[in-house]
């Protein structure tokens, strides 16, 4: 789906919006409040689902790669992502600060499709030196809940220039596993709606 984003006003995330979820809190304390990424929401509504696009330019938070704030879907919804440009890491975790039950990451490139299952909190990371443009289908009435990530200084693993680093704020975290992306969007997206 081709949409001219230059004619649409996006929601913009700044560094102040994500300081509390960064691995390097020394960096976070003094970093300038720059624009990080843009979210173009409700570009299409179809069958109770909405289509959004997020544009994440390359940036570093100290030694951590730029990422979205991270959220879980209030209402037990899943989400499907499509990589439109660049490459991204789609990180997902199931559980809470006391026990993460499952955690996985998918490295996607242009044309790849990533499914975030219902119940998983997730973060999108741009690990490259080019712009990541990613689209998603999600339940129209979904409201993201950021509290787990805000409370625990982000996700249970950070992606840094040294690779994956465990976040010590979480008590029990399993080994990170890696999944392969899909090559096309599933025809039936009804699984994205609440059960």
The domain made up of 5-183 is a member of CATH 2.60.120.10: yes
The answer for residues whose C-beta is within 8 angstroms of residue 25's C-beta and 6 or more apart is 153
Q: What value does the mean pLDDT take over residues 104-113?
A: 98
Q: What value does the mean pLDDT take over residues 160-175?
A: 96
Classified as helix, coil or strand, 115 is strand
Residue 130 CB neighbours (<10 A): 11
The pLDDT of residue 195: 55
Q: Which residues pair with 92 in a beta bridge?
A: 104, 122
Most confident of 3-7, 45-49, 160-164: 160-164
Is residue 155 within 8 A of residue 167, CB to CB? The reply is yes
Is residue 13 within 8 A of residue 69, CB to CB? The reply is yes
State pLDDT tens for residues 52-76. 999 999 999 999 999 999 999 877 7
**Segments making up each domain of the chain, as ranges:** 5-183
H/E stretch holding 56 reads strand 49-56
Is residue 99 within 8 A of residue 145, CB to CB? The reply is no
First-residue to last-residue Cα distance in the chain: 28
Q: What value does the mean pLDDT take over residues 180-186?
A: 97
Is residue 93 within 8 A of residue 120, CB to CB? The reply is yes
pLDDT band at 194 (very low <50, low <70, confident <90, very high): low
């Amino acid at each position: 789906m081709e949409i001219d984003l230059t004619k649409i006003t996006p929601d913009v995330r700044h560094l102040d919006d994500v300081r509390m979820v960064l691995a390097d809190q020394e960096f976070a304390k003094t970093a300038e409040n720059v624009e990080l990424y843009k979210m173009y929401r409700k570009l299409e509504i179809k069958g109770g689902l909405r289509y959004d696009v997020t544009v994440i330019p390359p940036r570093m938070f100290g030694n951590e790669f730029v990422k979205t704030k991270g959220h879980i879907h209030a209402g037990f919804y899943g989400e499907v992502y499509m990589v439109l440009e660049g490459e991204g890491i789609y990180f997902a975790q199931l559980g809470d600060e006391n026990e993460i039950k499952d955690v996985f990451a998918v490295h996607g490139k242009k044309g790849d499709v990533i499914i975030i299952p219902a119940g998983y909190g997730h973060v999108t990371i741009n690990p490259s030196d080019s712009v990541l443009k990613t689209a998603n289908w999600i339940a129209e009435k979904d409201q993201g809940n950021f509290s787990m990530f805000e409370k625990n200084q982000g996700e249970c693993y950070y992606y840094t220039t040294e690779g994956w680093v465990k976040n010590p704020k979480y008590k029990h975290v399993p080994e990170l596993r890696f999944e392969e992306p899909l090559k096309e969007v599933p025809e039936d997206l009804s699984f994205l709606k609440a059960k």
